[in-house]
Structure 1
Amino acid sequence: MSRVYVISDHHFGHQKIIDFESRPFGTAEEMDEFMIERWNSVVTKQDKVFHLGDFSFYNKDKTKTIVERLNGHKFLIMGNHDRGRSKAWWLDAGFDEVSEYPLVYQSFFILSHEPLYMNKHMPYVNIHGHIHSQKYEGLHYFNASVEHWDYKPISFEEIKSSLVPNEEQ
């Protein structure tokens, strides 16, 4: 049975993110290898992964090499660091699908790179990245940045159970 996962803000090849976010790596290459291993430790070839942006700082060839090493059907929702490159660039780099805009998934989850404004009366949950180790309070936001999930994609089952504790799904 295939599963669906979400993850954000890998920043492959971005040496400075190690200091910006206090990531426990000496080099970008060490970080890259660790994050590839973590991804493949949970995602199978049959699974789908929504990547919520800020994927890679490398050129297309190096980015493609990384994308090819990652298991699953990969869907990129472009982040602020991805938007300098075209949708076609990301497809050529190996993503199966690419969106420049947020998506609504299962009629309830809004998948975006940056957090979207959600007032307390909205029934939706915004699954996002962008703010890395920060976190918004409340059940309307779910931060999928790698810093929160030990650099592994998180399944929709885990997300749903974290949002509705002690209730039937």
Structure 2
Amino acid sequence: MIYFISDTHFADPRVLRIDRRRFPDMVDHDAALIRNWNAIVDEGDEVWHLGDFMSARGGDCDQLLSRLNGRKHLVIGNNDPVTTATAAGWASVQHYAEILLDGRLLVLCHYPFRTWNKMGKKSINLHGHSHGRLKPMPRQFDVGVDARGLRPVSLQTLLTSSRQSRSDDGGDSAPIVR
């Protein structure tokens, strides 16, 4: 299985204030994110982390990566320090990626796009950065933890939630991120 996640911001206390994540401190925050990740992701799964993984003050990135299940890829975000991007625990590191999954082209970047490659041919843009605050376009999904219940998400879950949102509102608009 392949999962997507973004904006974990491990060891970055700003998220408790700015994003109003309801944890008393970063120890509880980080433990909950690790628990949520490992409850969904098995060792044989792949995870694409779309940026803003951890703070430079968070310590050893490889040590944190070793606590998280799956084979992990990083798409670099604006808050990923060199120590995160150069950690040996990543299977790959890049600023942008395109992958084919279940016959669909996925365009992966930390930042949401207004347009993206093969958009007119039903490709899908997965991103982070906006912390659930940006109204998505059709076939565009914020996979950041603030938009996805603090856990990784599969493409199937994203597509299913999109279909449910369209049937709930009676139209073909993109899903409303709650």
Does residue 1:49 correspond to 2:43, yes or no?
no
Q: Name the aligned partner's letter for residue 94 of structure 2.
A: S
Equivalences for 1:56-71 in 2 at 5 Å?
56-58=54-56, 61-71=59-69
* 2:12 and 2:58 in contact (8 A); partners too: no
2:93 maps to which residue?
A: 98
Q: Name the aligned partner's letter for residue 85 of structure 1.
A: V
Counterpart CA distance in 2 for 1:54 and 1:127 is 14
Counterpart CA distance in 2 for 1:121 and 1:96 is 31
* 2:6 and 2:127 in contact (8 A); partners too: yes
Deviations 1:67-110, CA, capped at 9 Å, x for gaps = 1000000000000111x417xx634341121112x111215211
* Offset, 1:137: 3.1
2:76 maps to which residue?
A: 78
Q: Which deviates further from its counterpart, 32-41 or 157-166? A: 157-166
Does residue 1:108 correspond to 2:105, yes or no?
yes
* 2:76 and 2:85 in contact (8 A); partners too: no
* Offset, 1:162: 3.2
Deviations 1:30-83, CA, capped at 9 Å, x for gaps = 11111000000000000000000000104585322111000000000000111x
Q: Name the aligned partner's letter for residue 139 of structure 2.
A: H
Gaps of 5+ in 2: 168-178
* 2:11 and 2:57 in contact (8 A); partners too: no
Q: Secondary structure at the match of 1:146?
A: coil
Identity, % of aligned positions: 28
Counterpart CA distance in 2 for 1:121 and 1:92 is 36
Does residue 1:127 correspond to 2:95, yes or no?
no
Q: Secondary structure at the match of 2:82?
A: coil
* 1:61 and 1:93 in contact (8 A); partners too: no
2:172 maps to which residue?
A: none
TM-score of the aligned structures, taking structure 2 as reference length: 0.81
Counterpart CA distance in 1 for 2:8 and 2:74 is 12
Counterpart CA distance in 2 for 1:28 and 1:61 is 13
